[in-house]
Structure 1
Amino acid sequence: MEKFEKITGVAAPMPLVNIDTDMIIPKVFLKTIKRSGLGVNLFDEMRYDRQGNEIPDFVLNQAAYRGAEILIAGDNFGCGSSREHAPWAIKDFGIRCVISTSFADIFFNNCFKNGILPIVMPQDVVDTLMEDARKGANARMTVDLVAQVVTTSDGQEFPFEVDSFKKHCLIEGLDDIGLTMAKASQIDTFEATLGQARPWV
């Protein structure tokens, strides 16, 4: 998993509330088990018309936000089903951080397992970040996971809380498999000892 320490990039404003996982990546795209290739279909039904043409008004279709790395979202982001394809699509698009007042629990945890930092902020802070994001491509926001601070384009700093274990995993680039493999030597020792103690197993 890609490590996350600090990013500085364009933040896209998406003030809609209750954006569910089907809006993030519609069920028709859930046939794959690959984590790559889903970014083109992120927010598909809001991003394209029925003929497959881009809807110009949608934020990620606007020139200023095509390369967005941060998403400032409305309340209850990622609600709905537990599909892991939702964070896959967000990450594949290039977004590494989502900031909202609240997230659905399963989506929130899936983000950490896929190299995305979800940050919960109070409504007044999210409103400030949303306004900063509306400035476009010239307004670059910084998210520093190590220091646990979000800095706006004009230098305002907002601290945030994050679980220490989840922070460690993101900084070190450890998903569930990576965490297991980090203990490979201990696992090998255990298996060797077990094999001697219980050779019939």
Structure 2
Amino acid sequence: MTTITTAFADAVHDSQACFRRLLTAMAEPGTRVQLDRAHAFGAMNAGAVQVLLTLADHHTRLWLSPALQADTATLDNLRFHVGAPLVSDPAQADFAVLAYQDTGGCEAVLEALPAGTEEYPDQGATLVLETDSLDQGVAAVLSGPGIPGQRSVCLGSLPPALVCWLSERDPPSPLGLDLILVCERELIAIPRSTQVEV
């Protein structure tokens, strides 16, 4: 029995719609956007799926956390619809997806993901992190480019190591990781240039 499911119904228009919403999320950190053009791929929620359908391709090195690596439906659909090469080491990844049930092991992943170099700051990775809520849980105040003053957000039930990393990260600009927190079909972005006060 096949595990392949439908991705975007209209590949061009749906990916363009998602891309515009992701641009809004990145340009206005902490702004909630909804991606409603595709469903989950097995264990990977619909929001994370649509981020990859929109931003990843066969040149994008992709790392998946253990729960996603172990899910046949997730792997089959990503190979079929996205074609991104999977890497076993997060240090080699352009994109990483961390399932909510794997966030307890986030510390090693955060340390390993590439933050770019002075010559190639664009080589910093993007981490797509599944969370259980954007309405409650860890409360944070964001500031920086794209935010008039400050913006308050909720990040869900995140482990202490991830909260600590968010509040203490201070890599030399423009180095660092871009973070996209996804809850089902909704997401917020916290780019590397955003300051986080928890």
Higher relative contact order (CA 8 A, sep 6+): 1
Return the TM-score normalized by structure 1.
Answer: 0.29
- Which of the pair has more CA radius of gyration? 1
Return the TM-score normalized by structure 2.
Answer: 0.30
